Structure 1
Amino acid sequence: MFRFEHPDFLYLLILIPVLAFASLLIARKRKRALQRFGNPELLEPLMPGVSAIRPVIKFYLILLALSAIIFTLAGPQFGTKLQTVKRKGIEIMIALDVSNSMNAQDIAPSRLDRAKRAIYQLVDKLQNDKVGLIVFAGEAYTQLPITTDYPSAKMFISSINTDIVPTQGTAIGAAIRRSMSSFSAQENVNRAIIVITDGENHEDDAIGAAKAAVEKGIKVYTVGMGLPKGAPIPIPGGGKNNFMKDREGNVVISKLDEAMLVEIAKAGDAEFIPANNIRKGINDLVDYLSKLEKTEMEAKIYTDYENQFQYIALIALIMLLIDFIVLERKNKYLSKIKLFEEEDKK
């Protein structure tokens, strides 16, 4: 398992594009200043030692060295031992709707993007809890098995879009049932399912699925993405004002079915969280989850991390050494060597 011991140092990488942009501006300023004296091609014989490419090479060698130094300071490490530890927490399965209606923009930037941000916020607030991810539209699929690896969870979340599921629709019941089967085999653990959707269930009996979850001791929370007034559904790659239409040619308006989500949450012995104030909603959801009794669970984590900064430090040293060797001006002795020019015939 790879990690950085001091990841805050990685913020210094913002210096790299800033310095590159500054170098570009300085180079343009020098070129304009040279043009004031005359044609650069005519001035070139008067400056035989000046090289246009060498300063650029040296600058980018310095940038590479600086990047390597920043990564060195961040402390790259590899975990060498997988150890089983016991922690107190709960198990949470997040079921995220990825149907086309989640592209609607009644909440900016879109329902799906706002939902992904909400999941980020939720994961950031978890401690010692296990989390898994289900994506669903017409069918439900396990995107991330139950785990305590929060960075991996965020990575999977970032890659989600509405093309990830081949069958369109909104099968909330299937998502709940898939979530129920995705928990660990450990017994006597408090569990919760969080369904994030616009609530337009067209496929199955979501309320029946929520009741079945409660019978197994699993609470089913719902998070509503969208507004009751609704919004048209953009066609991916179809242009700014190209929206989905029905068979009669009318623009389809997707609306939040809040009543349905409230009913599912009620059947799931839990709460409905509206998305009109998602930050407050996530805080409320965390409060609800924190009231569930924590149970001792086993989790496998990497330990005995070994520092690997020396290899990146070596790269930085090599870049600085090459920069020291390469001069900004042309070498007058090497310039006399002309391997590819024919000698003048007498």
Structure 2
Amino acid sequence: MFRFDNPIYLWLLLLIPLSVMIYLYSIRKRKQRIARFGNPTLVRQLSPMTSKKRSWIKFVLLELSLLFLILILARPQIGSKLATNKEREGIETIIALDISNSMLAEDVAPSRLEKSKLLVENLMNKFSEDRIGLIVFAGDAFVQLPITSDYVSAKMFLDNINPSLIETQGTDIGKALQLSMNSFTPNSKVGKAIILITDGEDNEGGAEEMAKQAQSKGIKVFILGIGSKEGATIPMPDGGLLKTSTGDVVKTHLNEEMCKQIADAGHGVYLHVNNSSTADAVLGRELDKLQKGKINNIAYSDFDEQFQALALLVVILLIADAVLLERKRRW
């Protein structure tokens, strides 16, 4: 298992694009000063030993050195020794998240999708001994993260979720429920729950039957409907609004009745997600009611530092920068 022991230092990576912008700005200002001094072509002829290419190379070398130094500060490590499996009491939860384009609507702040991700992250913060898995779906469904007790990885995968992960649009809730059921471990003594978050639009059918199957297997189904009945337009990444093939602006609405029907079919629970935190509290209480069983968690007891190779690269890059002159060699 790979990890950064001090991941907070990775925020320093923002210094790299900042330094690039400053460098480009300095080049621009330098050109302006040369233009005020005299004809740029004549100035270049008066300084034939100046090399723009070498200046760029030296800048790239320094940027790479900065990158590797930041990674060293974050302390990259690889797990080298497995601890004895620890048995814990917990539940298994699969979160199926709708990532169709309609989830970009902003009738729930900041958007349906971002609100859903925030809800899931808050849920993870409350977990301690439980296992969690992530499934994303639209017109198709796939496993984003297999069921795990590694909440750090789960949050990383959650951050990267966006509608571009699935090209097929639509909302195939039935397929998402079926994939969720197949993603649990065979442990029958552990409480299992599917938390499906959707606005319920363009359902492909078969969802109620899948909910019944989940109930017959002892899996609790929670349908979280997000959005408003009044609806909202769908902003797109290019700054415009989603339109039909005829040019009409698309307006998306929460299909609450359909969400309730799926929950009722599986004797589950329907919750409406809006700008309040009511759904979070109710969901937490319902999950606490599930039977907790013994879960084997694999954990690493020892990690090996992996900074040595990066440190060597930094030394090589700095030596190369020192040796390389900005002006051309006479030969």
Q: State the TM bucket, normalised to the shorter chain.
A: 0.7 to 0.9
**What is residue 68 of structure 2 aligned with on the other side?**
68
**What is residue 308 of structure 2 aligned with on the other side?**
310
Q: Using the alignment, how far apart are the partners of 2:43 and 2:138 within structure 1?
A: 68
Is residue 77 from structure 1 mapped to residue 83 from structure 2 by the alignment?
no
Q: Using the alignment, how far apart are the partners of 1:152 and 1:57 within structure 2?
A: 36
Q: Using the alignment, how far apart are the partners of 1:291 and 1:300 within structure 2?
A: 26
SS of residue paired to 1:36 = helix
**What is residue 94 of structure 1 aligned with on the other side?**
95
TM-score for the superposition, normalised by structure 1: 0.78
SS of residue paired to 1:192 = strand
Is residue 320 from structure 1 mapped to residue 314 from structure 2 by the alignment?
no
- Whether the 8 Å CA contact 1:221–1:268 is kept in 2: the answer is no
**What is residue 276 of structure 1 aligned with on the other side?**
274
Q: Using the alignment, how far apart are the partners of 1:324 and 1:238 within structure 2?
A: 44
- Whether the 8 Å CA contact 1:245–1:252 is kept in 2: the answer is no
Residue 74 of structure 1, CA deviation: 0.7
Q: Using the alignment, how far apart are the partners of 2:323 and 2:33 within structure 1?
A: 28
**What is residue 195 of structure 2 aligned with on the other side?**
194
- Whether the 8 Å CA contact 1:232–1:244 is kept in 2: the answer is no
Identify the match of residue 161 of structure 1 among 127, 143, 163: 163
Residue 60 of structure 1, CA deviation: 2.7
- Whether the 8 Å CA contact 1:169–1:203 is kept in 2: the answer is no
1:71-128 superposed Cα distances (whole Å, 9 cap, x missing partner): 1111111123455332332100112334564455544665445434443443344323
Alignment of 1:7-22 (within 5 A): 7-22=7-22
* Cα 1:268/1:26, change in 2 over 3 Å: same
Q: Using the alignment, how far apart are the partners of 2:124 and 2:254 within structure 1?
A: 24
**What is residue 206 of structure 2 aligned with on the other side?**
204
SS of residue paired to 1:20 = helix
Q: Using the alignment, how far apart are the partners of 2:219 and 2:163 within structure 1?
A: 27
SS of residue paired to 1:320 = helix
User: Which structure has the bigger radius of gyration?
Assistant: 1
- Whether the 8 Å CA contact 2:171–2:204 is kept in 1: the answer is yes
Q: Using the alignment, how far apart are the partners of 2:99 and 2:19 within structure 1?
A: 40
Q: Using the alignment, how far apart are the partners of 2:241 and 2:43 within structure 1?
A: 55
Q: Using the alignment, how far apart are the partners of 1:292 and 1:31 within structure 2?
A: 68
Unaligned runs of 5+ in 2: none
Letter in 1 for 2:8: D
Residue 310 of structure 1, CA deviation: 0.6
Letter in 1 for 2:253: K
Residue 302 of structure 1, CA deviation: 4.1
Q: CA RMSD in A?
A: 3.5
- Whether the 8 Å CA contact 1:107–1:226 is kept in 2: the answer is yes
SS of residue paired to 2:180 = helix
Q: Using the alignment, how far apart are the partners of 2:234 and 2:56 within structure 1?
A: 49
- Whether the 8 Å CA contact 1:245–1:251 is kept in 2: the answer is no
SS of residue paired to 1:228 = coil
* Cα 1:250/1:320, change in 2 over 3 Å: closer
Q: Using the alignment, how far apart are the partners of 1:245 and 1:311 within structure 2?
A: 54
Q: Using the alignment, how far apart are the partners of 2:136 and 2:13 within structure 1?
A: 34
Residue 224 of structure 1, CA deviation: 0.8
Residue 309 of structure 1, CA deviation: 0.2
Letter in 2 for 1:220: V
* Cα 1:150/1:47, change in 2 over 3 Å: same
Between 1:305-314 and 1:111-120, the stretch displaced more is: 111-120
SS of residue paired to 2:163 = coil
- Whether the 8 Å CA contact 1:88–1:297 is kept in 2: the answer is yes
1:181-226 superposed Cα distances (whole Å, 9 cap, x missing partner): 32111121111111111234451352x6445534443322121122
SS of residue paired to 1:80 = strand
**What is residue 286 of structure 1 aligned with on the other side?**
284
Is residue 148 from structure 1 mapped to residue 149 from structure 2 by the alignment?
yes
Between 1:121-130 and 1:41-50, the stretch displaced more is: 41-50
Q: Using the alignment, how far apart are the partners of 1:196 and 1:244 within structure 2?
A: 25
Letter in 2 for 1:35: A
SS of residue paired to 2:298 = strand
Q: Using the alignment, how far apart are the partners of 1:250 and 1:306 within structure 2?
A: 58
